[in-house]
């Protein structure tokens, strides 16, 4: 279309934006145009600007940057848990672990200790059965000077900070902590007239109320004589219509299930809420393992405990495995096992709960099951972590089961998922030995997708299992990210309708 035709096709709001931009000059912001219009809502400016851009009358430059602010507003005044713990230790020279309850709120002690050790501010020693904490040289220096993360938090208390003004390593550290800072994308936009836009303005843009649709009220009142009717242009851009389809995650979950079912597996699942006994103890995870700390695991308040009295003989065997190794051939962990710790209620941290409970009910071969279900870990939300995510889990128990069979199953699964280059390499996981990690070649890079191995005797001995149990756990979201070409895990669960509509169907 030429300038004259375009002028006739302009809506009332488009004319207002053009006139405001001519008044303000090139480089005007949407906010400036909003005030100059004036407009009732910012969405009117942006909608009109999008149409003007599609017609070639204006250009719109966008620049985005991440900005960070405080989510915990009082943290700058109260101080980080490790700062309060550090000051307390400094005043008392040496402190026993239990004494930190006097300086910190309930539940903050594990967090403070973790960060004090990570920052190399304290050292811990066992003395007469008690843990004693003393300051390192770095800790003594930190007593009299501000730490880098503290300085950044103070700046955030005054106002948001852009990513250009914040050290990347400190931001990464703070993002790894729970509910401490916020992150948002700040987009700055600038609009400018094109040569065609100037030509349209030179023809004379007049503001006059327009009507796009004739209504009975308009005809009956006679007002139709006083208004201008917007011209209908069949060449004008129209939105694309998309067919209804399942969410990408649902589609890939269906594909995973179909492949395992075709390979002869049966799907299983258990409850999200489990006692620590089934989530940790039956997998030979020691009761003082870091994974059991509150900063890593969601423990329930109501109920805070779940009974494990269904099978006292099994409990006795698991206790024996932990304390002495039982009849597994292991030495165990050499500590006194606590039933109270095993009865703590939590949200399961892995789907191995499903397979181990299935093995407890089916200790004899053949066993060939898988699960695809949710698990929960106390993770800070970022590009690669979510507190709630999906896991693919599976086991095979046969008289002739072997490590080679495990590798073959995993290769078969990933090849059916469409990956051509697959490799395995040695790995370490607490409850399997030997263990391996599976990698696939994607965009010329090897990507790790999951771990696998053969259950250790300490895991299978309490059930009287005599044959090898092949086990694997795979990240479902990472698999989906590779399939859809995403770099941020949060995009999988975002309510971005355009992304969902445009996702291809394989």
The pLDDT of residue 257: 96
The pLDDT of residue 235: 67
Mean pLDDT of 476-492: 84
In the predicted structure, residue 167 carries a pLDDT above the cut 80: yes
pTM, two decimal places: 0.58
- In whole numbers, what is the pLDDT of the chain averaged over residues? 88
Question: CA 179 to CA 19: how far, in whole Å?
Answer: 45
Mean pLDDT of 355-381: 93
Question: What tokens were used for 329?
Answer: 């051939």
CA 53 to chain centre: 35
Mean pLDDT of 58-63: 91
What does 375-417 look like in DSSP terms, one character per residue? Answer: EE-----SSS--SEEEEEEEEEE-TT--HHHHHHHHHHHHHHT
Strand 94-96 with 130-135, pairing? antiparallel
Mean pLDDT of 470-492: 86
In the predicted structure, residue 239 carries a pLDDT above the cut 80: no
In the predicted structure, residue 238 carries a pLDDT above the cut 80: no
238: which DSSP letter?
A: -
List the domains of the chain with CATH numbers.
3-63+186-229 (1.10.10.10), 75-183 (1.10.10.10), 249-272+348-502 (3.30.930.10)
Contact 342, 308 (CB under 8 A): yes
How does pLDDT run across 70-113, given as a tens digit for each residue?
A: 887 778 778 888 898 898 988 887 788 888 888 888 788 888 88
Question: What tokens were used for 200?
Answer: 């349209």
Q: How many CA atoms lie within 13 A of 240 on its CB side?
A: 7
> What is the Cα Rg of the chain in Å?
31
> Higher confidence at residue 229 or residue 34?
34
How does pLDDT run across 290-341, given as a tens digit for each residue?
A: 877 766 889 999 999 999 988 899 999 999 999 999 988 899 999 999 999 9
């Amino acid at each position: 279309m030429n300038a004259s035709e375009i002028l006739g096709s302009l809506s009332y709001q488009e004319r207002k934006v053009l006139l405001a931009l001519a008044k303000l000059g090139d480089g005007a912001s949407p906010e400036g145009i909003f005030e100059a219009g004036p407009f009732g809502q910012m969405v009117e400016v942006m909608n009109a600007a999008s149409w003007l851009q599609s017609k070639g009358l204006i250009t719109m430059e966008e620049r985005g940057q991440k900005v960070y602010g405080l989510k915990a507003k009082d943290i700058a005044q109260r101080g980080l848990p490790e700062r309060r713990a550090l000051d307390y230790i400094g005043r008392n020279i040496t402190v026993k672990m239990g004494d930190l309850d006097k300086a910190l709120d309930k539940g903050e002690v594990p967090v403070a200790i973790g960060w004090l050790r990570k920052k190399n501010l304290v050292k811990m020693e066992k003395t007469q059965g008690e843990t004693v904490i003393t300051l390192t040289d770095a800790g003594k220096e930190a007593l009299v000077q501000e730490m880098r993360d503290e300085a950044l938090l103070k700046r955030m208390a005054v106002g948001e900070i852009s990513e250009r003004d914040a050290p990347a390593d400190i931001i990464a550290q703070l993002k790894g902590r729970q509910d401490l800072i916020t992150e948002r994308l700040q987009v700055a936009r600038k609009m400018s007239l094109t040569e065609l836009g100037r030509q349209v303005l030179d023809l004379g843009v007049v503001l006059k109320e327009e009507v796009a649709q004739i209504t009975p009220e308009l005809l009956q009142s006679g007002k139709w004589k006083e208004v201008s009717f917007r011209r209908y242009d069949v060449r004008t851009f129209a939105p694309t219509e998309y067919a209804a389809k399942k969410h990408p995650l649902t589609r890939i979950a269906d594909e995973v299930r179909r492949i395992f079912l075709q390979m002869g597996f049966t799907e299983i699942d258990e409850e999200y809420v489990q006692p620590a006994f089934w989530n940790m103890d039956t997998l030979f995870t020691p009761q003082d393992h870091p994974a059991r700390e509150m900063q890593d695991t969601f423990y329930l308040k109501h109920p805070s405990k779940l009974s494990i009295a269904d099978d006292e003989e099994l409990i006795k065997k698991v206790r024996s495995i932990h304390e002495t190794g039982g009849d597994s051939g292991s030495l165990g962990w050499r500590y006194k096992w606590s039933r109270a710790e095993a009865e703590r209620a939590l949200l399961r941290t892995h789907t191995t709960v499903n397979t181990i409970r299935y093995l407890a009910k089916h200790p004899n071969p053949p066993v060939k099951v898988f699960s695809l279900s949710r698990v929960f870990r106390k993770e800070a939300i970022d590009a690669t972590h979510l507190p709630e995510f999906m896991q693919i889990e599976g086991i095979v128990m046969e008289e002739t089961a072997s490590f080679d069979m495990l590798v073959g199953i995993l290769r078969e699964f990933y090849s059916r998922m469409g990956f051509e280059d697959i490799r395995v390499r040695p790995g370490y996981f607490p409850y399997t030995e030997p263990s391996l990690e599976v990698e696939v070649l994607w965009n010329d890079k090897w990507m790790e997708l999951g771990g696998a191995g053969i259950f250790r005797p300490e895991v299978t001995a309490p059930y009287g299992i005599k044959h090898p149990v092949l086990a694997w756990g795979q990240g479902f979201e990472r698999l989906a990210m590779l399939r859809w070409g995403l770099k941020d895990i949060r995009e999988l669960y975002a309510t971005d309708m355009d992304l969902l509509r445009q996702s291809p169907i394989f």
